[in-house]
Amino acid sequence: MIVDGNLSEINYHIRENNFTILQGNNPLGFLNRIITNTIQNNSDRNLNLTLLCGASGRIEDFLEVIFSDGKLIVMGINTNGDNNRQKLVQGKNWNEKINIMDGDEALTFLTIFGEEVNDIANSFNLEKSLDESKAWIESESKLICYNNTNPPSIDLIIQTDSLSFFLESGIESALKKSSINTWNKFCIDNSILQCDDLMSSPLPFECGLGHLIDSNKGCYPGQEIHARIESRGKHTKFIAKFVANSHLHTGKYRSEDGKKIMITTISIIGDKSYGFAILPTHFQDNNEISIIDKKPTTLYLESF
């Protein structure tokens, strides 16, 4: 539960996602060759999530595929989209008529969050469909999605050129730029992964994204490794939320028994730290872990 007073306000956070646009003949078939599941044009955003992995099976990017006017917007959480685009370009067959475009500069993804977010949506004239809370709605050069997060939020993708106009009109409606700390707390509470959570190049099973692997799909980069890990049950790490009664930072820690713990996201509120940590499966059944810091510290774990 969110206890931070800042979250009672209406905040916005500009996210650092990368954008690649695919246009041409069957861009979805082209994309499906290299991702860990098979994406179809589904209105539910959760079914348009996928992973781009390397041959070692480790995550290179966590992608969302958005369908717009016959084109695909492939949005990744990695701050550098060049790697994705290079892979796509190199993997284009000579007779595939597909353009791969760089949308990093042209598009901006922002999230507005707060208890009264629906009020601000009205003042922005953001269209809302009653039963499409998990779907993108395209309206006046914007993509909008209402999320049942806690507190509620609105995801927006807009043309970067119109960002300052949009924010100026929002400031009049008491929209405030979120601090990183407040944004991280929102992400932790709602299990939203960011680029930093993938900095250690985890395997999908290690960061709560194992459900995005389709073991019936056949070959894709990393599939051999995923199949082997799954069949042998050799998951070595998992991600968890935690709260601690002291101030921690992102990075490596050791448990009292010497196991490595990686804190990937942190939010400090009062005397407490909230965060995501990637932990050895050794701790999977634990509710708390003692770690070595300046003073004895306990991480109280919650499932991701």
Partner 1 sequence: MGILGGDGFSLPIVANNPIIPASITVTDSALAQMKKTLENEESTHCLIISAQSGGCSGYVYDMKIDENPKDNIEFQILLFDDIRIYIHNSDSYLLNGIELDYKDSLMGGGFNIANPNASRECGCGQSFG
Q: Does 73 bind partner 1 (CB under 8 A)?
A: yes
Per the DSSP assignment, residues forming a β-bridge with 277 are 240, 263
Q: Does 100 bind partner 1 (CB under 8 A)?
A: yes
**Smallest distance, partner 1 to C-beta of residue 34, A:** 5
Q: Does 110 bind partner 1 (CB under 8 A)?
A: no
Q: Which is nearer to partner 1, 103 or 202 (CB)?
A: 103
**Smallest distance, partner 1 to C-beta of residue 58, A:** 13
User: Per the structure block, which two tokens stand in for 6?
Assistant: 């800042």
**Smallest distance, partner 1 to C-beta of residue 60, A:** 11
Piece in contact with partner 1 (CB under 8 A), picked from 89-97, 119-127, 171-179, 190-198: 89-97
Q: Does 132 bind partner 1 (CB under 8 A)?
A: no
In the DSSP assignment, the letter for residue 93 is -
Strand ranges for the chain from DSSP E: 10-15, 18-24, 49-53, 59-68, 71-76, 98-102, 107-113, 137-139, 142-147, 153-159, 175-177, 237-244, 251-255, 260-269, 272-280, 288-292, 297-303
Which residues in the 141-180 window bind partner 1 by CB under 8 A?
Answer: 141-143, 157-159, 161
Q: Which residue has the tokens 């969110």?
A: 2
**Smallest distance, partner 1 to C-beta of residue 88, A:** 7
Q: How many Å apart are CA 277 and CA 262, to the nearest integer?
A: 5
User: Per the structure block, which two tokens stand in for 278?
Assistant: 């990637």
Give the number of other CB atoms < 10 A from CB of residue 249.
Answer: 11
Query: By the criterion CB under 8 A, which residues form the site for partner 1?
Result: 20-21, 30, 33-34, 54-55, 68-69, 71, 73, 85-94, 96, 99-103, 106-107, 138, 140-143, 157-159, 161, 219-224
